[in-house]
Structure 1
Amino acid sequence: MKRHAVLWSLIVLAVVMLAPFVIVALNALKTPAQYASDGPLALPSDITFQGVIDFWDRVGFGQKLLNSFIISGSVAVLAVVVSVLNAYALGIGRIRGRSWILIAFLVANTLPQEAMVYPLYFLAKETGLYDTQLSVIIIFTIIQAAFGTYLLSSTYAGFPHELLEAARIDGANKWQTLVRIVVPISRPTLGVLFVFSFIWTWNEFFLPLVLLISNDTQTVPVALGVLQGQRLMDATMTSASALLGVIPAIAFFLIFQRTLTRGITAGAVK
């Protein structure tokens, strides 16, 4: 009985979580006249993609989509690389002041973006990187790497010393030990970090809003927010914008779902 109760509870929870997405998808496939006459909860009598097409053309969604993929993908890859190098030095290398360095990374993760926006804006202006994707990539790589370093350093601290000692006996240097032993064994954890870094960067709005002002450099969340604030859109086009904004992140999550599940179930490195 308990299993059935838990199962039904999960089903109800899934329905509640999916209901807003389904409603948005249905409204995106309606015409403005259908939405006005039947309301937001009615099924579309005639399915049309005109709202999606109009929104895509109005914002140049293809370019915004490419910008978001470039920024999020670059940040995810670079954050994993930087996190591995930092965590290898802190967790396995056991450098001096390790605890204080980890505290600094932890504090960096708690800083609100509002407190960092002016210094980052000033630095981007002074270095000539303002309104470039490179500035956002550098900033979010550092932000995501701070979390990744804190996560991986605790994992690497419990890394089996027998493997490291065996590698030293076989003549492997520190770089070879990292590439051939540490990284392959910790691949599930790195996969989780990669997925989270991509999705978190994809959903970022505030800093890209400040640093990316040109239409050619803006990301999907910024384009959606700026457009809805400047121009009037009907309900169906607004639903289409919400649908197009969330579908790429969901698709990425589903593609890497196995990687995410494997990383979570793997737990710490044994």
Structure 2
Amino acid sequence: MRVSRAETTLNYVILLAFAAFALAPVLTILATSVSAPLGESGGLHLENFARAWTVGGFGRSLGNSAVVAAIVVSLATVLSIGSGYALGTMRFRGATVLFYLFLLGMMIPAEATVIPLFFDLRTLGLTDTYAAIALPQVAQSIAFGTFWLRAQFRAMPSSLLEAAALDGAGPVRALTRILVPASRPAIVTMLVLVFMWTWNEFLIALVMTPGGSLRTAPLGLATFQGQYTSETALLAAGAVIIALPTVILFLFLQRHFIRGMLEGVAK
């Protein structure tokens, strides 16, 4: 079907309107982050970032978030690949029930389980540790990762696994040599989403570290906001600092991320 020039123009107008609507808050935060702090003259104040970094102590909180994110992303990715492979390509008794249990993990909100988890981890002496922050998020991420990669592996042609079996490849080799490389966009998409959710997690990090020794980036920003409620320029600079790692990761992996999302929609 041929699209008229008027329809094409209207499509671009609608897309530009939605882009402006989405970018307006981001541009506002960026503009505020370089604006003049209270009591100073106008102009471009790039020193707001250095001041926010020093005053807010974001170096330590960003480091804690990086450690937690590395634990969650690595464990969730490896375990999700294994569970997605088993549920997506193998037939065994109880597979459907097991898959529904994973789906249940996606449906139960963290707010409903965080208090019982806190008492369990306190009994084990794990509160105020990286494990207390990371393990609940690993469980949540595996539920999504299994759902995501099960669909990906089920959509792969069965002839690939049959050819690998004829060549003498076992299940592990077929997974690592054939399915994982072919599913790279879907895996990268899951990795970016898990990293984003882990980096932005507030409640679990707040409850599981009552001593405040392992304050993550969102907690550091919340504390900074409580101390400098009237310093909007510094608060905006701190928000940009906290969001920057996620933005950088997305920019590096955006091609695989978009391709994985499009493949997921197609399926």
Structure-1-length-normalised TM-score: 0.88
Provide the residue aligned with 2:3 in structure 1.
Answer: none
Count of residues paired in the alignment = 262
Provide the residue aligned with 2:147 in structure 1.
Answer: 150
Structure 2 residue ranges without an equivalent (≥5): 1-5
**1:2 aligned partner, one-letter code:** E
Provide the residue aligned with 2:53 in structure 1.
Answer: 56
Which structure 2 residues correspond to residues 63-212 of structure 1 after superposition, within 5 A?
63-212=60-209
Q: Relative to structure 2, which stretch is displaced further, 54-63 or 195-204?
A: 54-63
Give 1:216 deviation, angstroms. 4.3
Provide the residue aligned with 2:247 in structure 1.
Answer: 250
Q: Which segments of structure 1 move beyond 3 Å, counting only runs of 4 or more? A: 213-216, 229-233, 265-270
Give 1:199 deviation, angstroms. 0.7
> For residues 23 and 186 of structure 1, what CA distance do their matches in structure 2 show?
38
Structure 2 residue 234 is the aligned partner of structure 1 residue 237: yes
Provide the residue aligned with 1:17 in structure 2.
Answer: 22
Q: Relative to structure 2, which stretch is displaced further, 116-125 or 209-218?
A: 209-218
> For residues 27 and 10 of structure 1, what CA distance do their matches in structure 2 show?
26
Relative to structure 1, the CA distance from residue 153 to residue 125 in structure 2 (aligned partners, 3 Å threshold; closer, same or farther) is same
Provide the residue aligned with 1:2 in structure 2.
Answer: 7
**1:103 aligned partner, one-letter code:** Y
**2:28 aligned partner, one-letter code:** I
Contact 1:63 1:216 in 2 (8 A): no
**1:19 aligned partner, one-letter code:** A
> For residues 82 and 217 of structure 2, what CA distance do their matches in structure 1 show?
31
**1:262 aligned partner, one-letter code:** R
Contact 2:36 2:42 in 1 (8 A): no
1:192-230 CA-to-partner distances (Å, cap 9, x unmatched) read 111111111111111111112445411111111233235
> For residues 107 and 136 of structure 1, what CA distance do their matches in structure 2 show?
21
Give 1:80 deviation, angstroms. 1.3
**2:192 aligned partner, one-letter code:** V
Contact 2:114 2:204 in 1 (8 A): yes
> For residues 266 and 13 of structure 2, what CA distance do their matches in structure 1 show?
35
Contact 1:87 1:153 in 2 (8 A): yes
Structure 1 residue ranges without an equivalent (≥5): 36-43
Q: Match of 2:226, SS?
A: helix
1:83-129 CA-to-partner distances (Å, cap 9, x unmatched) read 11111111112221222112111111111111111121012212222
Q: Match of 1:106, SS?
A: helix
Q: Match of 2:43, SS?
A: coil
Report the aligned-residue RMSD: 2.2
Contact 2:38 2:231 in 1 (8 A): no
Contact 1:79 1:145 in 2 (8 A): yes
1:32 to 14, 30, 37: 37
Structure-2-length-normalised TM-score: 0.89
Relative to structure 1, the CA distance from residue 58 to residue 149 in structure 2 (aligned partners, 3 Å threshold; closer, same or farther) is same
